[in-house]
């Protein structure tokens, strides 16, 4: 599995902006569904219609996988959020840093999101005063209500501080909402897509770590309808998807 794992430093000079409006017709169903919801309220649905599943990373941060598992992530570093196993080389990575504004607990917050195709990359960074976007390593300016092509594999749209990134190759849509404190993301994928990473798989109740091993789940004796995962196993699962170990 070839996943790019180096995110640009957010301090790069903003020069050579690209500003190309691009229209995509006949988008795939999951992209169309997420895009319609995004236009309506600036968000992507937590669970889309039957053909699609959504996973999210919000706040400090709370993660909901494609199969509905919810957990908190309080570990700094660069992590694989989504990696497709379909040969396209598409992946979504995230950078998490300690929340310096929180003096009580060691929460982490998303700082940057990276999208990788085999020949293209897109990054969205949160800064104190603005949002920095890079396409293939170069600063990119996306006008409000504008759309910019990502080669022939997708596009990015902007609506105020919210961005929709479409992977038209694999019918995947990601909504990235940026504010002063957080970068929240919601990813919508086809329900049969073979994915790995912190957002799990849409068609399986299990989670696979970075070595392909299933996260051990045992019966909860207090409730036969629930499973139980030890804290140590879960930490190992999260750490297996961290790049800078």
- Cβ-count burial of 26 within 10 angstroms (0-12 exposed, 13-18 middle, 19+ buried)? exposed
What is the CA angle 234-8-136, rounded to 5? 110
Residue spans of beta strands (DSSP E) within the chain: 52-58, 62-64, 70-72, 77-84, 91-98, 108-116, 121-126, 131-135, 138-139, 147-150, 154-159, 162-167, 172-178, 183-190, 195-196, 218-220, 223-228
Residue 179's alpha-carbon distances to 72, 129, 163, 166, 183, in angstroms, are 20, 10, 12, 21, 6
Question: pLDDT at position 83, please?
Answer: 93
pLDDT, tens only, 13-34: 323 323 333 333 444 789 988 8
**245 vs 242: CA distance, rounded Å:** 6
pLDDT, tens only, 92-121: 999 988 876 655 456 778 889 999 999 999
Q: Say what the pTM is.
A: 0.80
pLDDT band at 220 (very low <50, low <70, confident <90, very high): low
pLDDT band at 127 (very low <50, low <70, confident <90, very high): confident
Beta carbons within 8 Å of 65's beta carbon, 6+ residues apart: 55, 198, 199, 200, 201, 207
Quick one: average pLDDT of 49-56? 83
Pairing of strands 218-220, 223-228: antiparallel
Classify residue 8 by its DSSP letter.
P
Mean pLDDT taken over the chain: 78
Classify 29-206 by CATH class. Answer: alpha beta
Quick one: average pLDDT of 61-68? 84
Does 154 have pLDDT greater than 80? yes
């Amino acid at each position: 599995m070839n996943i790019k794992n180096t995110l640009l430093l957010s301090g790069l000079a903003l020069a050579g902006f690209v500003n190309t409006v691009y229209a995509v017709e006949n988008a795939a169903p999951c992209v169309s569904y997420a895009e319609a919801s995004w236009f309506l309220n600036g968000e992507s649905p937590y669970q889309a219609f039957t053909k699609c599943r959504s996973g999210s990373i919000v706040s400090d941060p709370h993660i909901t996988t494609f199969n509905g598992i919810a957990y908190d992530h309080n570990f700094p570093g660069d992590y694989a959020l989504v990696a497709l196993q379909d040969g396209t080389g598409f992946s979504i990575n995230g950078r998490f840093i300690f929340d310096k504004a929180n003096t009580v607990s060691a929460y982490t917050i998303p700082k940057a999101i990276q999208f990788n195709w085999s020949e293209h990359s897109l990054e969205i960074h949160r800064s104190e005063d603005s949002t920095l976007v890079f396409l293939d390593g170069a600063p990119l300016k996306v006008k409000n209500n504008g759309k910019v092509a990502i080669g022939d594999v997708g596009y990015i749209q902007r609506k105020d501080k919210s961005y929709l990134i479409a992977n038209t190759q694999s019918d995947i849509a990601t909504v990235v909402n940026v504010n002063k404190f957080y970068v929240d993301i919601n990813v919508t994928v086809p329900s049969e897509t073979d994915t790995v990473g912190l957002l799990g798989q849409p068609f399986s109740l299990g989670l696979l770590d970075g070595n392909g091993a299933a996260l051990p789940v045992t019966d909860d004796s207090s409730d036969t309808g629930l499973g139980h995962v030890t804290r140590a196993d879960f930490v190992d699962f999260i750490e297996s998807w961290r790049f800078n170990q």
